[in-house]
């Protein structure tokens, strides 16, 4: 069974962009995002098959981690833009900061000046 953690950030980003663009925002769309965030909060530190759907052992991919950051960031932005939405912005800020720190610490190669 494949695990691709990047997808959660892509979906949450797309739903936020739809909301910002003025598309009809149904309550179930935000509830979906809350469910996705709940799963991602407990699993972003785990390895996955990544965007490339690798075969073999799961690994930690920078892209997957960055998309987890995107998910947390877009959730925080959504609450800042729509204070009536339920959610825990402080918890998601903490997640966003933790993902950022891990990506900078473990996903950056200073010798090559690039994320790997």
Is 70 a residue whose pLDDT tops 90?
Answer: yes
In a domain? residue 30: yes
61: domain range? Answer: 6-115
How many domains are contained in the chain? 1
Residue 25 has pLDDT above 90, yes or no: no
CB distance 56 to 40 below 8 Å: no
Q: Which of 78, 76, 66, 92 is nearest to 15 (CA)?
A: 78
Return the pLDDT at 36. 98
Q: Is the dihedral of CA 8, 39, 32, 20 positive or negative?
A: negative
Asked if the structure places residue 27 within a domain, the reply is yes
Asked if pLDDT for residue 53 goes beyond 90, the answer is no
Residue 88 lies in a domain: yes
Which element (helix H / strand E) includes 108? strand 108-109
Quick check: is 1 in a domain? no
pLDDT at residue 26 is higher than 90: no
pLDDT band at residue 105 using 50, 70 and 90 as cut-offs: very high
Predicted pLDDT at 33: 96
Is the per-residue pLDDT at 24 higher than 90? no
Region 11-22: mean pLDDT is: 94
Grouping H, G, I as helix, E, B as strand and the rest as coil, residue 88 is coil
In a domain, 34, yes or no: yes
* Helices first, then strands: H and E counts in the chain: 4, 2
The stretch 53-81 carries a mean pLDDT of 95
38 is a domain residue:
yes
């Amino acid at each position: 069974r494949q695990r691709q953690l990047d997808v959660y950030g892509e979906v949450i980003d797309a739903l936020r962009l739809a909301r910002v663009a003025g598309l009809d925002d149904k309550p179930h769309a935000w509830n979906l995002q809350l469910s996705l965030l709940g799963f991602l909060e407990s699993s972003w530190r785990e390895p996955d098959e990544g965007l490339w759907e690798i075969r073999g052992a799961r690994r930690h991919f920078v892209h997957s981690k960055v998309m987890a950051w995107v998910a947390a960031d877009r959730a925080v932005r959504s609450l800042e833009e729509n204070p009536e939405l339920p959610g825990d912005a402080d918890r998601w800020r903490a997640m966003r900061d933790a993902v950022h720190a891990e990506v900078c610490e473990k996903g950056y190669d200073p010798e090559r000046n690039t994320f790997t």
